Structure 1
Amino acid sequence: MLDLPQIGQPVSRLEGRAKVTGTAKYAGEYNADGLLYGYVVNSTITRGKIVHIDTNAVKEIEGVIEVFTHENRPSLAWFDMQYSDMDAPPGSPFRPLQNAEIKYNGQPIALIVAETFELARYAASILKVSYQGESFETDLYNHQNEARDPKKGVATLLKPLPPKPKGDFEKAFSDSAAQVSAEFVHGTEHHNPIELFATTTIYEGEGKVTIYDKTQGTINCQLYVGNIFGLHFKNVRVISPYVGGAFGSGLRPQYQLFLSVMAALQLKRSIRVTLDRQQMYTFGHRPPTIQKTRFGADSDGKVNAINHTAIGETSRHEDYTEVVVNWANIIYPAKNTILEYQLLPMDVSSPLDMRAPGGSTASHAIESTMDELAHKMKIDPMQFRLINYADIDVSENRPFSSKELRQCYIQGAEKFGWAERNPEPRSMRRGHKLVGYGMATGFWEAMSIPARAEAVLTREGKLRVSSAVTDIGTGTLTVMTQIAADELGLPLDDVQFCYGDSKMPFAPIQGGSFTLATVGSAIKVAGKALRKKILKKAKEMKNSPLKNASDGDVIFERGGISLKSNPDVLISFREIIVANEDKEIKTTNMSVPNVFKLKNYTRAAHSAAFVEVEIDEELGTIQVKRAVTAVAAGKIINPKTARSQILGGMIWGISKALYEETISDHRYGRYMNQNLGEYHIPSHADVHELDVIFVEEKDEIINELGSKGVGEIGLVAMAPAISNAIFHATGKRINKLPIHFDELL
């Protein structure tokens, strides 16, 4: 590959061949001599106590090695997990096999270890457990009056609580020329990545383990294991080079990690524990949420009153929160606001961040309410948003670091053909099908946090960069390689990015659309430091033509350093290494965001989604025929991988709006469709013409790359755009997701 600037190039995924040919190894595919297999037994009641677990019959089966329960698990350090889990909410974290108490349906209550997976699974099926059940509550909707404020200390930098009320909402709303009040119900969703939750723990002896885990944070899992089991961190190595999708499911250490390590340390054997698809519904979910909105606008179409309240589900042992009600007043300026968020503890497992947590839930309520307000005022929905365009963040009274949302509206509308829309609901047809156009705004905060990276000029004169960050399928390996290549002006073939290993320099969990800004900035910092070291070595060479050169006098290109004033003068990296006695030149550096500068700005990626739906007038069946999403996310490092991220978010938006829902039977307190046959997601036949536009946006404040993450921004606007298109097609406003065809009959 040429050593031209790699940032901005549509480079194909560097690990793509390994993945499609099957040579990429995942957590459940690493083997070891004498490997044992663990299978988890889950509770069949929702709340109560285990009275007795009869392990005798199981232990008599030839090939069954051990049955671990709360009665015989080894003693543990049991440090409070919120201090060893970067994503733990406040409260008392769930501890597998701690005691006889049952907190939720599907809770892990035993681990059977056997010589084969099939044998362990069979033994689990005949294990006899007797319970003493207690009354439970899992129905959020019927108990919403029991919601409470989140406990003190729940707010974090990434999850702030709602701002205080502003102005006089009730008066402003009452005096508004147009008013809309609505209730929105968002169902439960479960993470369903292709790769099952799996951990292979290799016992290395003397309390030392190497762990292959499905995770979004190798160091997070290392800290967790070290603290829980009282191991020295250097004796815990977590490796995760390939992750078959995650979407938040690997942010917290999954319970099979705990069980695998516990069994390996106790038996002094290597052990693999894999959760099957049904068991994946027993760890984490997007919580059901009830939202109520009241928006008012004056006669000019300016929104002057916003009231957005939400009640979210949490477990009884942790206060899991989402940022749901904070968004509306950032996107649309209003002088009078009441924003309230409450939690309702239920007998369920703790919810877990899922792609665009809070934001994708909120957007349906906010954007549908805005659409209805525009309809009432007989203003085009896009024009209504332009009337209410926010040039500054009025919620914090500060400017945006950059904001090209206006261009997202304009360019997206032109590409989509929004001008052809007849504003009257139920007015557009194609044969026996109703046609609807809908649009919505997307918003997602652009964050960055500290990280470290190592940069090494190897003995071959090539670049090796290392970070413990994972790649959950988003293209992290590729874009980090591109960033590193430009630091030394090298072609991609001369750059190696090493990642997914806890022994490498610190990286936080991969999520929140902050990985590119976080780890990419660390690579930039390390690259700058390495350039200084290399130049210093070059200047010290005998008869060096760069002896008097400063940083600004040279260019790193063509595998070496040249003078700007005379490009023919070139000292190769290999020559510099030879002069350095054939030793590598390396540096490890940390990137820390300038919080004093950044706190003065609101940093966010923006989008506008435009959707066309077709609805069979007699059957009510819905098809998303085409969609365009225009995105402003600063500098796009790799347009190809970024486009794939947006497309993936758009498809998930279709899923969220029309298909995806975990159904609970509240008589039993359990999820009923714990499989991909009944947990519906879009098939190829459900996905039609999708297009992505990246609006040019320059941001010199947000980070050295000038880039914002795109993992979440492609999702947030799609579901409300579809909902609004359905209203335009049918004249019916459906405020419960997913939208089922029978509601349109």
Structure 2
Amino acid sequence: MIGQALNRVDGPLKVAGRATYAYEHWVETPPLYGFIVGATIGKGRIARIDTDHAESAPGVHHMVMTHHNAAAQGPRDESIAVEYWRAKPALTGPEIHHYGEPVALVVAATFEQARAAAELVEVEYAAEPGRFDFSTHMDEAYAPALVGPGIPADTAVGDVDAAFEASAVKVDQVYTTPYELSMPMEPHACLVEPRGEDLTVYVSSQVVDAAQASLAATLDIDPARIHIVAPYIGGGFGSKLNIHAETVLAALAARALDRPVKVALTRQQVFHLTGLRPTSSQRVRLGAARDGRLTAIAHDVTMHTRPDMEYGEPTAGTTRSLYAAPNRSTTHRLAPLDLPQGEDVRAPGEAPGLLAVESAMDELAHELGMDPVELRIRNEPTVDPERDVPFSERRLVECLREGARRFGWERRPTTPASVRDGRWLVGYGMAAGIRGHFQQPTAVRVRMEADGTVVVQSDMTDLGTGTYTVLTQVAAEALGLTPDQVRVELGHSDFPASWGSGGSWGACNSSTALHRACRALREKLLSTAKDDARSPMYGLDLAEAQFSGGELRVEGRSEPMREIVARNHPDGVEAEGEIPLMADEPNYTDYSIHTYGAHFAEVGVDADTAEIRLRRMLGVFSVGRVLNAKTVRSQLLGGMIWGFGAALQEEAFVDPRTGAIATRDLAQYLVPVQADIPDLDVTVLDGHDDKANVLGSKGAGELGICGAGAAIGNAVFNATGMRVRDFPITLEKVLPGLPPMEA
């Protein structure tokens, strides 16, 4: 059952419109609607705020909330290790930290009335000079202690400067990546319903436990008083790991008014009220011998951070494990800007970092006159080059070779700008991909009912990635049932806690915890049957018993499990399984555990206009054991499309005068659409990483983006001879370097 391409069990609900998302929930008391008023300056203070006209507008219910009347809230606690669990206070004072920051919440009978009344809130500001332009403030960058989830900011092995200077062939280039946003299809929204001292919060959250803890810390109440409900989420891609202003303000208003309150962000507000992927400037130095073997590799990253909310994306992190080189250095530096906080966005660190490193490797291959695939294979490490521990399962070379074979890499033009197809310049590009596999604390409960059906419960969430389906498969296989005998319930804080969906850890962590829960449930069923004189299994040695077809079978005897449960546990029998933090799991200390991929792309570039078109693309991946062949392929395809967007389209432009994101809608912040993407090809190698977990599976969701953009950028160079190091690669950056058309 595990690994089969089972259709999504929640598919019929979604197709029929019966899967209820955060904003779609209805409660007994009709809800009020809130609309957030955002600051129109990027730095300063509120000098005066007048809400009289807004409060007298049609439908406005009792209050317009500002820093003058908002309830006291708990402060951010930096001692809490992970940002997702910290308090997120809003409307606590007159200070403005970035453009669009909430200055008021208008609550009315309808969304339209709240939005109209929001226009009537009058705000006068005492503006202050702000730091909005990354390029002019890079010299203010500082070294953080950590980046990402507790990762050292800097590493060093050997003498990278001396080795680089002594190298026969050198690449020393700077690559820049823009601000990006997650842009899920479902904007951030919630409904908060007060029930006495408790709050039921219907919210679009990737991590239910974090949402509960963060909101409780913000409101300074017992977390048990907050009930998070998030059964369906319309995408998140990192932006829903944290709660944001809409949830906090809806909760404050609901408590103050003792009425349910709904708040949803408009698409424009999403750009300022959720986090950004930091813009980055990345210097990559590669030193190699004439045979292509790296002698030095250095990756130095500078990115933006909000002064009062430090966030460092681990952009150089994957460089530490990707290629062998005796001399190595990675650094991260943060430049404070008065912009929205940095947050995790789609493969945080790996996506922008591999854009730079894999572009630099392509530049090195060109300098050497070497096949880019061969260059990467020649620098394959035997152990993790910085941790000096073995790899658990490393099949990058196999991905590279299989991808080259399937793609027809031998037909790659060896000379840039040498192949034309009519008016199109044609080029091939490739890149490697790597991503760490993470284990986070996760618990799952499984219960068998008296009728033999099974219920699986966890606060784990499904972002549309297939969690309901994968957990159905794991439980069905472990207990010898068919999928229709399993019901999976997710996304509720009353269920056992997990780290939710994020970081590509969700499916594997919850599946492993569920596997352990099923194993514990099996032991209970075996013990019950063995001790039940009414059972055919009474007194038998059940060590070799099989669970199959809904029955317990051993030595030619069988009994339906439902009969065992009905006789002995009429209310059902349950068990829990859990896994610890990876720091408490020896394999994650003793081994370097990653997933791997190789991307191959063919592009066409219009020789007159510089229009770039992806003609075909292949990704070959190693993710250990596949849990569902259909969902993992979809995840990897989605990641490859993200890589296309990062290479050619996505860029949030910050107005350097005001700090406003000027491209704050999907007409100007470009993401790939159907017409941009040809048929893509995905191959997943069969595997089983027994160091990762008992199932042998590793996260796949974000691997597809890792290296994908660099493969497309390298193909553009191969097509045109024009190397663009400032992403995204747009027309005006390519056009000046196009070769002249032949007469």
- Scaled to the shorter chain, the TM-score interval is over 0.9
- What is aligned with 1:21? 16
Preserved CA contact (<8 Å) 1:149 1:342 = yes
- What is aligned with 1:587? 575
Preserved CA contact (<8 Å) 1:447 1:517 = no
- What is aligned with 2:361? 370
Cα offset, 1:244, TM superposition: 0.6
Q: Does structure 1 residue 104 correspond to structure 2 residue 98?
A: yes
Preserved CA contact (<8 Å) 2:228 2:493 = yes
Q: Does structure 1 residue 127 correspond to structure 2 residue 124?
A: no
Q: Percent identity?
A: 35
Instruction: Work out the CA distance in 2 between the residues paired with 1:377 and 1:232.
Output: 63
Q: Does structure 1 residue 73 correspond to structure 2 residue 63?
A: no
Instruction: Work out the CA distance in 1 between the residues paired with 2:87 and 2:625.
Output: 39
Instruction: Work out the CA distance in 1 between the residues paired with 2:216 and 2:696.
Output: 36
Instruction: Work out the CA distance in 1 between the residues paired with 2:541 and 2:134.
Output: 65
Instruction: Work out the CA distance in 2 between the residues paired with 1:223 and 1:165.
Output: 37
Moved more, 410-419 or 433-442: 410-419
Correspondence 1:598-613 to 2 at 5 A: 598-613=588-603
Which residue of 638, 641, 646 maps to 1:651? Answer: 641
Cα offset, 1:657, TM superposition: 0.7
- What is aligned with 2:390? 399
CA 1:468–1:171 in 2, change beyond 3 Å: closer, same or farther?
A: same
Preserved CA contact (<8 Å) 1:187 1:737 = yes
Q: Does structure 1 residue 146 correspond to structure 2 residue 140?
A: yes
TM-superposition CA deviations, 1:557-592 (whole Å, max 9, x none): 1112001x42xx111112102320523111123222
Instruction: Work out the CA distance in 2 between the residues paired with 1:83 and 1:502.
Output: 24
Preserved CA contact (<8 Å) 2:461 2:491 = yes
Q: Does structure 1 residue 307 correspond to structure 2 residue 298?
A: yes
Preserved CA contact (<8 Å) 1:94 1:317 = no
TM-superposition CA deviations, 1:197-222 (whole Å, max 9, x none): 101011212x2111100110112111
CA 1:576–1:743 in 2, change beyond 3 Å: closer, same or farther?
A: same
Correspondence 1:615-654 to 2 at 5 A: 615-654=605-644
What SS does structure 1 have at the residue aligned with 2:444? strand
What SS does structure 2 have at the residue aligned with 1:670? coil
- What is aligned with 2:288? 297
The one-letter amino acid of 1:56's match is: D
- What is aligned with 1:3? none
Instruction: Work out the CA distance in 1 between the residues paired with 2:209 and 2:661.
Output: 32
The one-letter amino acid of 1:68's match is: M
Q: Does structure 1 residue 330 correspond to structure 2 residue 321?
A: yes
Instruction: Work out the CA distance in 2 between the residues paired with 1:445 and 1:551.
Output: 40
The one-letter amino acid of 2:7's match is: S
What SS does structure 2 have at the residue aligned with 1:392? coil
Which residue of 544, 565, 572 maps to 1:577? Answer: 565
Cα offset, 1:543, TM superposition: 5.0
Preserved CA contact (<8 Å) 1:93 1:318 = no
Preserved CA contact (<8 Å) 2:501 2:507 = no
CA 1:330–1:498 in 2, change beyond 3 Å: closer, same or farther?
A: same
What SS does structure 2 have at the residue aligned with 1:552? coil
Instruction: Work out the CA distance in 2 between the residues paired with 1:531 and 1:411.
Output: 41
Q: Does structure 1 residue 182 correspond to structure 2 residue 182?
A: no
Cα offset, 1:485, TM superposition: 1.1
Preserved CA contact (<8 Å) 2:87 2:214 = no
Instruction: Work out the CA distance in 2 between the residues paired with 1:541 and 1:711.
Output: 46
Cα offset, 1:329, TM superposition: 3.7
- What is aligned with 2:343? 352
TM-superposition CA deviations, 1:299-351 (whole Å, max 9, x none): 22101111110001110102101111232241111111221110011101211
Preserved CA contact (<8 Å) 2:317 2:350 = no
TM-superposition CA deviations, 1:659-692 (whole Å, max 9, x none): 1110111011111010011111112111002000
Which residue of 268, 276, 286 maps to 2:258? Answer: 268
TM-superposition CA deviations, 1:611-630 (whole Å, max 9, x none): 00000111100001100000
- What is aligned with 1:249? 239
Instruction: Work out the CA distance in 2 between the residues paired with 1:737 and 1:422.
Output: 24
Preserved CA contact (<8 Å) 2:134 2:304 = yes
- List alignment gaps of at least 5 residues for structure 1: 1-5
The one-letter amino acid of 2:99's match is: N
Preserved CA contact (<8 Å) 1:456 1:465 = yes
Cα offset, 1:162, TM superposition: 4.1
Which residue of 89, 95, 107 maps to 1:113? Answer: 107
Cα offset, 1:264, TM superposition: 0.4
CA 1:550–1:513 in 2, change beyond 3 Å: closer, same or farther?
A: farther
Cα offset, 1:159, TM superposition: 4.1
Preserved CA contact (<8 Å) 2:72 2:92 = no
Preserved CA contact (<8 Å) 1:200 1:271 = yes
Instruction: Work out the CA distance in 1 between the residues paired with 2:546 and 2:522.
Output: 10
Instruction: Work out the CA distance in 2 between the residues paired with 1:399 and 1:12.
Output: 37
Q: Does structure 1 residue 35 correspond to structure 2 residue 31?
A: yes
- List alignment gaps of at least 5 residues for structure 2: 736-743
- What is aligned with 1:515? 506
CA 1:550–1:254 in 2, change beyond 3 Å: closer, same or farther?
A: farther
- What is aligned with 2:740? none
Instruction: Work out the CA distance in 2 between the residues paired with 1:598 and 1:676.
Output: 41
Instruction: Work out the CA distance in 2 between the residues paired with 1:209 and 1:162.
Output: 39
CA 1:539–1:88 in 2, change beyond 3 Å: closer, same or farther?
A: closer
- What is aligned with 2:519? 528
Given the two structures, how large is their TM-score scaled by the length of structure 1?
Answer: 0.96
Instruction: Work out the CA distance in 2 between the residues paired with 1:242 and 1:133.
Output: 41
Instruction: Work out the CA distance in 1 between the residues paired with 2:317 and 2:243.
Output: 28
The one-letter amino acid of 2:243's match is: P
Instruction: Work out the CA distance in 2 between the residues paired with 1:8 and 1:589.
Output: 21
Preserved CA contact (<8 Å) 2:35 2:114 = yes
- What is aligned with 1:209? 199
Preserved CA contact (<8 Å) 1:49 1:100 = yes
Which residue of 203, 210, 223 maps to 1:233? Answer: 223
Q: Does structure 1 residue 413 correspond to structure 2 residue 410?
A: no
CA 1:708–1:683 in 2, change beyond 3 Å: closer, same or farther?
A: same
The one-letter amino acid of 2:231's match is: P
The one-letter amino acid of 1:709's match is: G
Instruction: Work out the CA distance in 1 between the residues paired with 2:515 and 2:604.
Output: 47
CA 1:544–1:715 in 2, change beyond 3 Å: closer, same or farther?
A: same
Instruction: Work out the CA distance in 2 between the residues paired with 1:296 and 1:192.
Output: 38
What SS does structure 2 have at the residue aligned with 1:14? coil
Preserved CA contact (<8 Å) 1:10 1:638 = yes
Instruction: Work out the CA distance in 2 between the residues paired with 1:187 and 1:422.
Output: 30
Cα offset, 1:460, TM superposition: 0.9
TM-superposition CA deviations, 1:234-259 (whole Å, max 9, x none): 32111011111100010011111100
Preserved CA contact (<8 Å) 1:85 1:253 = no
Cα offset, 1:84, TM superposition: 6.9
Count, aligned residues: 730
Which residue of 330, 341, 348 maps to 2:332? Answer: 341
Preserved CA contact (<8 Å) 2:147 2:314 = no
Instruction: Work out the CA distance in 2 between the residues paired with 1:289 and 1:176.
Output: 27
Cα offset, 1:509, TM superposition: 3.4
What SS does structure 1 have at the residue aligned with 2:157? coil
Correspondence 1:413-452 to 2 at 5 A: 413-452=404-443
The one-letter amino acid of 1:8's match is: G
The one-letter amino acid of 2:69's match is: N
CA 1:444–1:379 in 2, change beyond 3 Å: closer, same or farther?
A: same
Cα offset, 1:62, TM superposition: 3.3
Q: Does structure 1 residue 562 correspond to structure 2 residue 553?
A: yes
- What is aligned with 2:481? 490
TM-superposition CA deviations, 1:536-562 (whole Å, max 9, x none): 111122253323444531001111200
Cα offset, 1:530, TM superposition: 0.3
Instruction: Work out the CA distance in 1 between the residues paired with 2:616 and 2:49.
Output: 55
Preserved CA contact (<8 Å) 1:84 1:223 = no
